[in-house]
Structure 1
Amino acid sequence: MTLLDLTPRVAVSDRLATLPVLIIGAGPIGLAAGANLLERGIDFEILEAGDSAAASIRQWGHTRLFSPWRHLIDPASRRLLQAAGWVWPVEDGRAPTGQELVEEYIAPLAELPAMRSRIRYGARVVAVTRDGMDRTRTANRESTPFLVRAVTGPGDVIELVGRAVIDASGTYSSPNPLSSSGLDPIGASGVDDLVVHALPDVLGADRARFAGRHTTVVGAGHSAANTLIALTELAKSDPGTRVTWVIRNASAVRVSSSPDDELADRARLGSRVGRLVDAGAIEKVDSFEISAVRRHDEGVRLIGSRRGASATHDTDLVVNATGFRPDLGMLREVRLQLDEIVEAPTRLAPLIDPNLHSCGTVEPHGFAELRHPEHGFFLVGMKSYGRAPTFLLATGYEQVRSVAAWLDGDMRSATAVQLTLPATGVCSTDLGGGGSCCS
């Protein structure tokens, strides 16, 4: 790394010095970014699309994470909370559910007066650019404030300017399509009401939708496994409930069952699914590549190929548990430098390549690996991993600690990245929004 690389990239001119850092997303990583900036006396504003903090996590709050509490709480956030009298959740080695994570940690953090006053809820960011400049203009770019546009209601739009932008918006709202080609399958718009987002609350709020029906789960990761297990539990009390698991490969290699996995709950997940398949509680259809979908009777027909031959599969409902990808549309006017395969920052991509790394083998990284040609812009958290499914919350916390130090001109701290992660087997989060069932 050269001396030039260690120079603060955001020129704090008189024009920029009075502007806040703009953070996109009030999930655990966005809030952690705010906490680190608070400790350094740097003003910020958080734009959150939902009506509360961690809106994405609340959608899958019934699901239990894999990591125990010690891996789920950001150090700077913990210091702020404890100064306000907050008590650390009981650490008994048990991983909390998403809802417990929100209620016991994220919500109290978001409600701290210094944090709450800086969060704007119901503000969905649709574009990031430089104030008065599109991506083609270079002169004085570094000293020009960022401009972030957000929709706050039907026909209502706001624009905010800031000295830097930290995008912690996650990926949960951008699922991968069902098609093996990476495109929406032909006919997808005609079956929208029959395709369910990953991790539905099968045994709770969504029970009536699945009871007594044939549900097909598409995907080979831990989100799929959680839903499959829940559906088999539902079938015990509603005998008409049928469960099918469709994967495009010959085996679901990302559902770990390694005894060496320190995340014990995750290690057991793959074994449970395997036993349910062997017992006939789950019908497994492997090597099925989906290319089209259409309505069939009152359900949906998946159309594609299997082992070189045309194939179809009929079901009542489909759960899309194929993973997630970053929403890059709102960043069209930002000069990004992304890996052509996983869509992560180019310096980060080799460190998180899912072909080589699990959650626990990703090296510590910070501002240096997260930089883009757009000085002062950072993708952090799950969104920084692009399509790689190996993100852990602890990794995101170290990312934003380093970025905050860099924004403060503290190069010694910004470059001193350290991280202790649990040893893991093959890892797949299949979740966005900052929280995950791998975290």
Structure 2
Amino acid sequence: MFKILLAVVLGVGGLPFAYGADLLSVYQQVLEADPRVRLAELNVQIGEAREQQVIADLLPQLNITSSISTIRQDLEGNNSLISGRGDRASFKGERYSAVLSQPLFDLPKYYNWQRQQEVTNQAEHDQLETQQQIMLDVVQYYFKVLLAQDNLSVAENETVVSKAILLQLQELYKRQLVKITNLMEAQARSDLANAELLAAQTALVMAKEQLTELTGHSVQQLTPLRDDLTFQPVEGGVETWLERLAANNATLLSKRDVIKADNSSVKQQRSGHLPVVDFQLSVQRTDLGFNSSSVGLTNITSASVNVNMPLFTSGKTTAFHAEAIHRLESSKLQYETEFRKLRRELITNLTEINASVEKIRATKVALASAKKNYQAMNKGFKYGVVDSSGVFEAQRILSQANRDLFEAKYQYIFSRTNLLHLGGTISTHEIELINQWLAPS
């Protein structure tokens, strides 16, 4: 019986899987189901449409108007005997006009165009951040499910072994071969294993729900990690990765776009004190004259250059300029705050990667020792030289070694993916690379 239990305990992590979806297929499902993909795309399209709106303010505008009127005139102060006219006259009139206008000097509109260009760039960088965040979420949630599954397998084996030892001790107690204290300890260990099993099951359900939130449907069996996978430290030191953070991180790029947009806004508001010059060409055809009087059909063509100079706005322009300056300062401080936060996260993840590599190596050694220890304790218990406490303790050490190894492996993947995300280098190619770390179907 204990040979069977020994095989169960030592086989944790090597149980056969009914392999299902791999990381790459889950990622494709998320791209099709996650609303963030379409939302980011719409924000870019909104930015492009607004950019076209402000560009139009700098380009020629042509307006055509037409009107057909019925006019009634009441004449006062006229002597009808002298003038020969009555006191009232009615007639119809027509007016057709076309006006072409072109801004010649309008700095507020020009800087508004520059500002909107940066706003569009910000939307594009936000879209890039969304795409990279989705990649990060897929990797994180996928391997959180695998971690929860591995922890559940450890808990299930602890439950099986604890219950088997308890049954064995109950039989020995009936024959008065063990003390009641040994039996009570085994009962407590079995109850604790059941509680840990329930916690592991709950953790798996929650992990699957996180992944379901991304894919939009229930998670089936996932493909696990390969057993022969080798974990290596990432290339590059802190300075190298900090350079990548500053140059490639989509969040920082977006915040730099905000700074550029706010800088253009400052120029836009400051130029509100300057004159605005535009050219206007109009063509008119009408049979109405001054005060809508009836005249012969007339064609009128005029060209003009208009200058509008603001002299007094009761401080409105100055207040707009001050607000723009404050917004620019605020956006710079927000950038600095975000950079410091991301810098700390980057160094933390880089440190955790190298620590995980060493921890994996050390835990593999500890796991091998724990297996030998369990074998020895199990053999001693079989011959009556070791009590159940020693077997339970050996089992606990072995289970903890398995958990530590699982945790170290997945922490390496989590930290590495976070580092690539912070450095702005995470991509579909990286998803494909990590997918090769999974067991073949």
Shorter chain as denominator, the TM-score bin is: under 0.3
Structure showing greater relative contact order (alpha-carbon pairs closer than 8 Å, 6 or more residues apart) = 2
Counting helix residues as a fraction of each chain, which structure ranks higher?
Answer: 2
Which structure is higher in strand share? 1
Q: TM-score, normalization: structure 2?
A: 0.27
What's the TM-score once normalised by structure 1's chain length? 0.27
